[in-house]
Amino acid sequence: MLIDTHCHLDFPDFEKDRQETIERAQKENIRYIINIGTSVSSSVKSIEISQKHDFIFATAGIHPTDVENISINDIEKIDEIAKNPKIAGIGEVGLDFHYSRKFEKKQREFFTYQIELAEKHKLPLVIHQREAEQEIKEILENRKLPEKIVFHCFSGDEEMLGWCMKKGFYISFTGIVTFPKASNVHNLVKIAPLDRIFIETDAPFLAPVPFRGKRNEPSYVRFILEKIAQIKQMDKEKIEDIIFRNSLTFFKR
């Protein structure tokens, strides 16, 4: 029993074969899929997809690299979308300074707004962080937070992992864990406590080995599980059960 806790089936990459992709996931025993919103329109489409399938749920949020052309009206729309019963979280939100800090102030403001929405609606918060560890810590240390927080596609250092564990947050691993040269992520998997781990595809991105470089999809999440079991030198079925329960408890409304 597996849960892909973070994918983007609403993206154009799946426009031609979305239903077939979903059916492949079912055949691979993917029990639930969380489709992650990245904008108002993406969040709406995520709900539309989820409403066609009992085992798919959605989140609502505005990605930090999409803040350039948004306004407070977009936050009001996310606030309204969050009331839908198929919404399982607020996200993907956060900070991303990989390409530029041009909109740093706006990223901070809209991240803060969406933290408040998660707390208001009593929903989990799905955080995107890229080259912004200290800024993320600063924001999260100084305000009231929702009960449940996960850092998706976790690739921080040991200090960041320790801080997340101390705060009671969860972390999620992607197909990067299967990359031979991803020694930092392999080390994080070794030391991360199993009761704080999720797995995700982030499809259509970051396809695991043996599909690296191709379009990713939810059915590939099992390769991430298998690699984690290998790194931790533990029984795959035991890890599968723990991660499944972690994910189910986290996203359950």
* Cα first-last separation, the chain: 20
What is the DSSP code (8-state) at residue 29? T
Residues 6+ away with beta carbon under 8 Å from 142 = none
* Strand pairing category for 125-130 and 149-151: parallel
Phi, psi of 6 (to 5 degrees): -160, 105
What is the residue-averaged pLDDT of the chain? Answer: 97
Q: Are 120 and 143 in contact (CB under 8 A)?
A: no
Given the DSSP bridges, would you call strands 56-60 and 87-96 parallel, antiparallel or unpaired? parallel
| Residue 153: predicted pLDDT | 97
pTM for this model (two decimals): 0.97
Task: Give tens-digit pLDDT for 19-75.
Answer: 999 999 999 999 999 999 999 999 999 999 999 999 999 999 999 999 999 999 999
Phi and psi torsions of 91, nearest 5°? 160, 160
Q: Is the pLDDT of residue 228 over 90?
A: yes
Average pLDDT for 71-93: 98
Whether residue 109 contacts residue 116, with contact meaning beta carbons closer than 8 Å, is answered with no
Longest CA–CA span in the chain (Å) reads 49
Interatomic CA distance for residues 50 and 34, integer angstroms: 9
- pLDDT tens per residue across span 88-128: 999 999 999 999 999 999 999 999 999 999 999 999 999 99
Q: Are 228 and 173 in contact (CB under 8 A)?
A: yes
Tokens representing residue 159 in the block: 């200090």
Whether 213 shows a pLDDT value over 80: the answer reads yes
Is residue 195 packed enough to be buried (19+ CB in 10 Å), middle (13-18) or exposed (0-12)? exposed
Backbone angles phi, psi at 71, to 5 degrees: -140, 180
59 close to 118: Cβ distance less than 8 angstroms = no
**What pLDDT band is residue 155 in, cutting at 50, 70 and 90?**
confident
The ranges assigned to domains in the chain are 2-251
Tell me how far apart the alpha carbons of residues 112 and 119 are, in angstroms, rounded to a whole number. 11
Q: What pLDDT score does 142 carry?
A: 86
The two tokens of residue 192 are 């991360």
Residue type at position 55: F
What pLDDT was estimated at residue 244? 97
Q: What CATH homologous superfamily does 2-251 map to?
A: Metal-dependent hydrolases (3.20.20.140)
Instruction: Note whether 206 and 13 are within 8 A (CB).
Output: no
Q: What element of type H or E holds 60?
A: strand 56-60
Has residue 253 got a pLDDT over 80? no
